[in-house]
Amino acid sequence: MRVFITGGTGLIGSAVVAELLSAGHSVTALARSDASAAQAKAAGAEVLSGALADLAVLRAGAERADGVIHLAFSNDMSSPDALAQGVAEEAAALATLGDTLVGTDRPLVMVAGTPYLPGRTSTEDDALPTQGPVAGRSRSVTSALALASEGVRSSAVRLPRTVHNQGRGGFAGLLTDIARRTGVAGYPSDGAQRWPAVHARDAAVLFRLALEQAPAASSWHAVADEGDAVRDIAAVIGRRLGLPVESVPQENFGPLGPIFAADQPASSAHTRATLGWQPTHPSLLADLEHIEA
């Protein structure tokens, strides 16, 4: 299958590209810089130059592909305005990709997040959130899933709050960055809230399976660890960096503070049973042992 991918040179995307190529697919990666283009070419992918905001480029990439995987996001969370701009940019990109694939029965695999359900573990049957700082991303994915009625085999791979590799990535990676900057491995509230996690290489396998097998309008959970307590995550970070570990105000985490403070375990039982997905790589707490001071 000829696959067009956005975000193919990030921590998750690079693992997805490697997984696709190893399975015999060909890959064209969107690249917004010379460095990204060089990385994609070195991995064995072809390159389409452009950014997520270049809608004509996205349309051209999707038109030439047998399937599309969308992973790109600005990841600028420096302020509420910056985050909102990234959400709007992604919405336009997904709308363009989906519109291009209408009537083709080709797959469009999108990234989403596991939903937060107060008081219980979320499953693949639960709806994506419609409130919160990143709810706009959920609305974009939901709209694209609805294109199943217009001949798009759209599906969503919902990622947990931490997708990791060699101790880097996700919310745990953000905690590490904050700890380095502030000198404290902090966590909001009492730290008992749980975050699900998955290794990037395990997540990559699920993206491939969704591309190849997922029926239209389906959602899947790339969850290996259902939920690690945030204080346990912070404890490993603090030990690896030689920093104190303690509770800090939720406001210290900026626009993501409410999400950081939420208990949000997630299950992947349906995904494993239906697609035969089975994580094999290290857990989050084990992988965080790769952090270097």
> What pLDDT digit, counting tens, does each position of 6-17 carry?
999 999 999 999
Q: What are phi and psi of 222, to 5 degrees?
A: -90, 70
DSSP notation for 193-228 = -EEEEEEHHHHHHHHHHHHHHPPTTEEEE--SEEEE
Q: Write down the pLDDT at residue 75.
A: 78
d(CA 231, CA 235): 6
29 forms beta bridges with 5, 47
Q: Write down the pLDDT at residue 266.
A: 98
Q: Write down the pLDDT at residue 238.
A: 98
Ramachandran quadrant class, 282 (left: phi over 0; alpha: psi -120 to 50; beta: rest)? beta
pLDDT band per the 50, 70, 90 thresholds, residue 106: very high
d(CA 85, CA 133): 11
The three-class DSSP label of residue 122 is: strand
pLDDT in tens, 146-184: 999 999 999 999 999 999 999 999 999 999 999 999 999
pLDDT band per the 50, 70, 90 thresholds, residue 81: confident
Find the range with the poorest average confidence among 88-102, 228-242, 245-259, 267-281. 245-259
Close Cβ partners of 185 (under 8 Å, ≥ 6 residues apart) = 175, 179, 234, 235, 237, 238, 241, 243, 244, 245, 246
Mean per-residue pLDDT of the chain = 95
Q: Are 71 and 12 in contact (CB under 8 A)?
A: yes
Q: Write down the pLDDT at residue 196.
A: 98
pLDDT in tens, 201-229: 999 999 999 999 999 999 999 999 999 99
Task: Name residue, tokens 């947990």.
Answer: 160
Question: Residue range 110-120: average pLDDT?
Answer: 94
d(CA 268, CA 222): 7
108 forms beta bridges with 68, 154
